[in-house]
Amino acid sequence: MQLDHEIVAGNLVFRVQGELDLNTAERFRLYVDDAMDRHRCYQAVLNLRKVTFVDSSGLGAIIGRYRRIAQRQGTISIVSPPPHVLSVLELSGIKKIIPVYSSEQKALAPEARMA
Amino acid sequence: MQLDHEIVAGNLVFRVQGELDLNTAERFRLYVDDAMDRHRCYQAVLNLRKVTFVDSSGLGAIIGRYRRIAQRQGTISIVSPPPHVLSVLELSGIKKIIPVYSSEQKALAPEARMA
Amino acid sequence: MHERKTVLEGLVDDGGISVGHNNEVRLEMLALPENVGLARVSIAAFASQIDFSMGEVEEIKVAVSEAVSNAVIHAYPQGGWVKISARLTGRLLEVEVKDTGKGIEDVSQAREPSFSTEPGRMGLGFVFMESFMDGMDIQSIPGRGTTVRMWKECRPVEGSND
Amino acid sequence: MHERKTVLEGLVDDGGISVGHNNEVRLEMLALPENVGLARVSIAAFASQIDFSMGEVEEIKVAVSEAVSNAVIHAYPQGGWVKISARLTGRLLEVEVKDTGKGIEDVSQAREPSFSTEPGRMGLGFVFMESFMDGMDIQSIPGRGTTVRMWKECRPVEGSND
Ligand SMILES: Nc1ncnc2c1ncn2[C@@H]1O[C@H](COP(=O)(O)OP(=O)(O)O)[C@@H](O)[C@H]1O
Ligand SMILES: Nc1ncnc2c1ncn2[C@@H]1O[C@H](COP(=O)(O)OP(=O)(O)O)[C@@H](O)[C@H]1O
């Protein structure tokens, strides 16, 4: 797994590459929490376009970020999950609590950030 | 492994995709020999650009085609082997008997076919 | 969504023996987080010997990942070995993931969605295994270990993609 | 040619534990041509846990492929089981490929380039194993079987790519 982040219009956009599983979940957690704390920004966009695998350990790390952000009155959204990642998001019910967008632009649009 | 062929300027251009090993060498052999016999054309160009793996079983299948073509006074060349395939070709000495080109155009140029 | 990957692309197809065949592989690994991916990749390569669609192979990967992750997290807090065996019989894939660790007190409770004994985990492992495979069976003896058996059939492609 | 793949890309790196660590995996499979790729992929995934370059992982794949192919072709004309075990100790990868098949009469002859008992084969299997790994050792007893042990060290990256 490789991670990258960028601030776009007051949002922290995280771009994740590779596999999000038991082996990488902890590094994902540390990276995201640290970036948010350092920038004091709790408006997160997770771009999963280049994610090749997610299982329940990976989902747990995403839900964990959702909870932490919610406590800080922030927002989180998911962008461009590939088909097999989407089916895992759907089965877990995460799609009902975290909005999923087809592009970063859509996730960053003012209408989306109202939600 | 997936195979494809096309006749270009009187040459049979074979495009190979995937892994050329013990499991696929026989299918490679059958495919190439059959295409050459059906077209009665023994001017072969093997495009290896999309080959992801070759070992000595795969090389054996290539050398076998070289021998069969040589018996029929034909020609054979290799095009665009990826770095790890090239190192296997070099180590085996095949590069000394089968010319290697960086593009199909170069392999098909009249100067090349003189060789 | 599940594109079949063995449609004769161009002319000759490859690796997958579409008619179904018999094969078996066994894998033993240390119960470490970094080996979960290895288990997944190995069983996916094995399953790809018959013409499971790409989507189905992804589902198998998730199921294997969940079972092996459970052995790493729950069975062996102190470490141990996980044994995975996989069998192809015609068009049926069976995967068994076995540990000799802690065991499960109440298997039917463990299978319930959202049930987890570990804070911060989702309790979705068994749910994913069941949903992504055709069936699952759990044998567990507290203090002795757990064996999860899962199976999935590779159905023939009907016309286009399903 | 061998780009290292674990240079911190962007910010955080991934899977590979660059400092070297200890791990072990064992694989048992039917001696079938379609399992050669499975062996290769599994050992490559295992080797990728430390920071071998992409080129080095390709070399390891060739070596494993040769050893397993030999067991399929030469050891077991009638079929049998191949056992592969791999170990990481710090920065050293060791791979052992073992069969209980026909065995080799004359090991030093077998190691010679171009020597093969099988018409149509190249006699390059052992040459490739030796060239692509740091070392190789063959134990064989005619009628009892063959064990090939190979090892390769993952050297630290010096400055740019090597
Ligand atoms: N191999 C195992 N050994 C011991 N306990 C297990 C094992 N697998 C599962 N369990 C128990 O079953 C529970 C439910 O498992 P699961 O549905 O995979 O969810 P999770 O892993 O998120 O807890 C676990 O919390 C654990 O208590
Ligand atoms: N596992 C094995 N069991 C029995 N004989 C073997 C085995 N591996 C290699 N050999 C013998 O050693 C010879 C040389 O092997 P190798 O260098 O791999 O070339 P090739 O496989 O092309 O013959 C083989 O032809 C075979 O006679």
pLDDT digits (tens, 9 = 90+) for B70-88: 999 999 999 999 999 999 9
**Closest residue, chain D, to B20 (C-alpha):** D37
CB-based contact, B5 to chain C, within 8 Å: yes
Q: Could you tell me what percent of chain D has a pLDDT over 70?
A: 85
In a domain, C161, yes or no: no
Subunits adjacent to chain D (3 or more Cβ pairs under 8 Å) = A, B, C
Question: Which residue range(s) make up the domain with C138?
Answer: 22-153
Output the pLDDT for position A15. 98
In a domain, C14, yes or no: no
pTM above 0.80, yes or no: yes
Contacts of D128 (CB under 8 A, 6+ apart): B55, B56, B88, B91, D62, D63, D66
> Quick one: CA torsion of C9, C13, C15, C21, rounded to 10 degrees?
120
Q: Which residues of C touch B24 (CB under 8 A)?
A: 14-15
Whole-number Å distance between alpha carbons of C87 and C85? 7
Q: Could you tell me what percent of chain C has a pLDDT over 90?
A: 80
Ligand 1 centroid from CA D134, angstroms? 42
Kindly state the average pLDDT of the residues A43-49: 98
Kindly state the average pLDDT of the residues A61-66: 97
Q: Assess whether pLDDT exceeds 50 at residue C82.
A: yes
Q: Assess whether pLDDT exceeds 70 at residue D99.
A: yes
DSSP state of D34: G
Q: Which residues of D touch B59 (CB under 8 A)?
A: 122, 124
| Cβ contacts from B onto D, under 8 A | 58
Output the pLDDT for position C21. 72
The pLDDT tens digits for C105-156 are 999 999 999 999 999 899 999 999 999 999 999 999 999 999 999 999 999 8
The secondary element (H helix, E strand) that includes residue B2 is: strand B2-8
* Residue boundaries of the structural domains of chain B: 2-104
Output the pLDDT for position C158. 67
Q: Assess whether pLDDT exceeds 70 at residue A80.
A: yes
In a domain, C63, yes or no: yes
The side-by-side arrangement of strands in the sheet containing C135-141 is: C135-141, C145-153, C92-99, C81-89, C23-30, D23-30, D81-89, D92-99, D145-153, D135-141
Count up the domains in chain D and report the number. 1
- The DSSP line for C101-148 is SS--S-HHHHHSTT--SSTT--S-HHHHHHHHSSEEEEEEETTTEEEE
Residue closest by Cα to atom 22 of ligand 1:
C123
Whole-number Å distance between alpha carbons of C45 and C57? 9
The secondary element (H helix, E strand) that includes residue A104 is: helix A104-108
Q: Assess whether pLDDT exceeds 50 at residue C8.
A: no
CB-based contact, A53 to chain C, within 8 Å: yes
Q: Could you tell me what percent of chain D has a pLDDT over 90?
A: 80
Across the interface, do C12 and B18 touch by the CB < 8 Å criterion?
no
- If you average pLDDT over every residue of chain C, what do you get? 87
Output the pLDDT for position C78. 87
Q: Is the CB of C72 under 6 A from ligand 1?
A: no
Kindly state the average pLDDT of the residues A16-41: 98
pLDDT category of residue D77 using cuts at 50, 70 and 90: confident
The pLDDT tens digits for C43-71 are 999 999 999 999 999 999 999 999 999 99
Across the interface, do C66 and A87 touch by the CB < 8 Å criterion?
no
In a domain, D12, yes or no: no
In a domain, D1, yes or no: no
Kindly state the average pLDDT of the residues C12-17: 38
Q: Is the CB of C145 under 6 A from ligand 1?
A: no
Whole-number Å distance between alpha carbons of C16 and D34? 9
Output the pLDDT for position C161. 46
pLDDT category of residue A20 using cuts at 50, 70 and 90: very high
Subunits adjacent to chain B (3 or more Cβ pairs under 8 Å) = C, D
**Closest residue, chain D, to B54 (C-alpha):** D62
Kindly state the average pLDDT of the residues D50-77: 97
In a domain, C121, yes or no: yes
Give the number of the atom of ligand 1 that is nearest the alpha carbon of residue C126: 17
- If you average pLDDT over every residue of chain D, what do you get? 87
Q: Assess whether pLDDT exceeds 70 at residue C4.
A: no
Output the pLDDT for position A114. 58
Output the pLDDT for position C159. 56
Across the interface, do D1 and B91 touch by the CB < 8 Å criterion?
no
Mutate to test the interface with B, among D65, D111, D115, D129 (most CBs of B within 10 A): D65
pLDDT category of residue D18 using cuts at 50, 70 and 90: very low
Across the interface, do C55 and A22 touch by the CB < 8 Å criterion?
no
pLDDT category of residue D158 using cuts at 50, 70 and 90: low
Contacts of C126 (CB under 8 A, 6+ apart): C66, C110, C111, C136, C138
Q: Are chains A and B touching, using the cut-off of 8 Å on CB pairs and a minimum of 3 such pairs?
A: no
In a domain, C127, yes or no: yes
Report the DSSP pairing between strands D145-153 and D135-141: antiparallel
Output the pLDDT for position D4. 35
Q: Assess whether pLDDT exceeds 80 at residue D159.
A: no
- Which residues sit with their C-beta closer than 6 Å to ligand 2? B 56; D 66, 70-71, 74-75, 99, 101-104, 110, 115-118, 121-126, 146
Structure-token pair, residue D110 = 């077998």
CB-based contact, B4 to chain C, within 8 Å: yes
Lowest-confidence region among B52-56, C135-139, D5-9, D103-107: D5-9
In a domain, C148, yes or no: yes
Active site residues of C: 66, 70, 121
Instruction: Kindly report the backbone phi and psi dihedral angles of residue A103, in degrees, each rounded to the nearest multiple of 5, phi listed first.
Output: -155, 160
pLDDT category of residue D160 using cuts at 50, 70 and 90: very low
Instruction: Kindly report the backbone phi and psi dihedral angles of residue A107, in degrees, each rounded to the nearest multiple of 5, phi listed first.
Output: -65, -30
Q: Assess whether pLDDT exceeds 60 at residue D162.
A: no
Q: Which residues of C touch D38 (CB under 8 A)?
A: 25, 42, 45-46, 49
Q: Which residues of A touch D11 (CB under 8 A)?
A: 3-5, 31
CATH of the domain at D39: 3.30.565.10
CATH 3.30.750.24 assigned to domain A2-104? The reply is yes
Is residue C142 within 8 A of residue C104, CB to CB? The reply is: yes
Structure-token pair, residue A93 = 């019910």
Whole-number Å distance between alpha carbons of C90 and C51? 11
Whole-number Å distance between alpha carbons of C65 and C23? 21
